Amino acid sequence: APASASPRWIRVWDWPTRLFHWSLVLLVSLNIYTGNVGGLREMDLHMLSGYAILALVLFRLVWGVIGSRRSRFADFVRGPVAVIAYARSLVGGVHRSFVGHNPMGGWSVMAMLLSLLVQAVTGLFSRDDILTEGPLVRHVSKQTSNLLTGIHEINATLLYVLIATHLIAVFGYLLVKKENLIRPMLTGHKLMAGEDGSADAGYAPGWIAAVVLAIAAGIVWYVVTR
């Protein structure tokens, strides 16, 4: 058998992508908790975590263009033909393991990012008419604020669905397909065989990610304090 057929550990997720992922897990969990519990202290934390989520999403949108190969949208966002073919392969029992996100997972990532972006932005203009209002409420009419608050609440439900779907998929692959998608997001490496085993594309420089994140955080800080 050719040497390329031997399984080998290759780099998949760089540390900025992994840090983004797990920071988002913690912040979204905190955001869900504080949003449902309410209370002045909790809502203060809710807004702060929302600002942090917005900065992370802005970072990921840029990193999806200039980051490491597997973190780029061009690597995992595929057309409907590829998505349908992959879905049929799952139903048919023929499972191909992708180095990065599979075609369905790629669109799941995009849906999650879009929902988080909508949630964070509408939160800046939202109000509950009791304790809390977003930092940009004063810049819009009450009617507009009410509209955006409604979108914020509806999108929260959509976000719950996306999160649940993501968790079901991750554990489904682990238990049914015997493919561990969690470990590579912790270690950055994935065991691959065949031609995919030689697909180690390396990582983009980490300092670029640090600069992008700093700029994203600066933009959010400027917006919420102006």
Does residue 1 surpass a pLDDT of 80? no
Confidence of residue 3 (pLDDT cuts 50, 70, 90): very low
Q: What are the two backbone dihedrals, phi and then psi, of residue 135, each rounded to the nearest 5 degrees?
A: -65, -15
List Cα–Cα distances, 21 to 137, 154, 177, 185, in angstroms. Answer: 29, 24, 23, 8
Confidence of residue 45 (pLDDT cuts 50, 70, 90): very high
Residue 155 to residue 115: CA distance in whole angstroms: 7
Q: Can you give the pLDDT at residue 129? A: 77
Residue 41 to residue 162: CA distance in whole angstroms: 27
- Model confidence pLDDT, tens digit, residues 179-212: 899 999 999 999 887 666 667 778 999 999 999 9
- Model confidence pLDDT, tens digit, residues 130-182: 778 999 999 999 999 999 999 999 999 999 999 999 999 999 999 988 889 99
**Average pLDDT for 120-128:** 95
- Model confidence pLDDT, tens digit, residues 99-115: 899 999 999 999 999 99
Residue 20 to residue 18: CA distance in whole angstroms: 5
Q: Can you give the pLDDT at residue 21? A: 98
**Average pLDDT for 77-96:** 86
Helix 40-66 crosses helix 15-37 at what angle (to 10 degrees)?
A: 150
Q: Can you give the pLDDT at residue 197? A: 60
CA 78 to chain centre: 17
Percent of the chain with pLDDT over 90: 77
Residue 219 CB neighbours (<10 A): 13
**Average pLDDT for 8-16:** 92
Residue 184 to residue 202: CA distance in whole angstroms: 14
More confident residue, 96 or 9: 9
Q: Can you give the pLDDT at residue 132? A: 85
